[in-house]
Amino acid sequence: MAPVQESLYGEKRRRRALFVDRDGTLNPDPGYLKDPARLELFRGVGDALRLVHDHGELVVCVTNQSGVERGFYTAEDVGRIHARLNELLAREKTRVDAFYFCPHHPDRGCACRKPGTQLFERAREELGLDLARSAIVGDRWLDIEAGRRLGLLTALVKNPGHEQAVERELAEHGCQPDLTAHSFAGAVARVLARG
């Protein structure tokens, strides 16, 4: 993977990325997912991520995993979930290019837990990303607020059964997404249509 590309004029050009949340966005959220065998992808995720790659963008997953500090699972368990996620995506000829996760409890007040932006900034430096030309798709206000702070195009997936709770959260925290959709694939299609 060559994250920083040379332009015709010799200057370095940073790449676009689609940042994605994990639980509730790429896969159903059973709560503190520890067992890779329980991981399932939402329908259309593979096709949507393949389309993102066809547009020349990287896919970067940024996820809060407070279950590590709570003692429900380990950082190694998170790594196994991410490996399994990419195994499932490989069957659909696509992948997540990089994973970043915050292991901390929400009460810690760390800068890496969304809506904090530290992990996004780390990805920007490590992968050579242009945040001004990038976007985020998530299912919670935390994703939308992190994206807003960074100037990303923000897209919210409205999962059936959780819409009212998510609307309340967004109103409480005074943030609104640029785009909404009722599926991950729909959100990605709307992001890519914005160019």
The H or E element spanning position 63 is strand 58-64
Instruction: Provide the pLDDT confidence category of residue 12 given band limits of 50, 70 and 90.
Output: low
Euclidean distance between CA atoms 36 and 137, whole angstroms: 23
Which CATH number among 3.40.50.1000, 2.170.16.10, 2.115.10.20, 3.40.50.11540 corresponds to the domain 4-193?
3.40.50.1000
Euclidean distance between CA atoms 114 and 104, whole angstroms: 11
Euclidean distance between CA atoms 169 and 172, whole angstroms: 5
Does the annotation mark 21 as catalytic? yes
Query: What average pLDDT does this structure show over 147-158?
Result: 97
Instruction: Provide the pLDDT confidence category of residue 2 given band limits of 50, 70 and 90.
Output: very low
Q: What is the pLDDT of residue 159?
A: 86
Query: What average pLDDT does this structure show over 42-56?
Result: 97
Euclidean distance between CA atoms 133 and 151, whole angstroms: 9
Q: What is the pLDDT of residue 81?
A: 98
Q: Which residues pair with 15 in a beta bridge?
A: 129
Cβ count within 10 A of residue 36: 16
Active-site pick, 23, 77, 97, 143: 23
Euclidean distance between CA atoms 131 and 32, whole angstroms: 29
Is the model more confident about 56 or about 5? 56
Q: Which tens digits make up the pLDDT trace of 76-111? A: 999 999 999 999 999 999 999 999 999 999 999 999
Read off φ and ψ for residue 159, nearest 5 degrees.
-75, 135
Active-site pick, 21, 97, 139, 143: 21
Q: What is the pLDDT of residue 137?
A: 98
- pLDDT at residue 136 greater than cutoff 60: yes
Tokens encoding 152: 């990303």
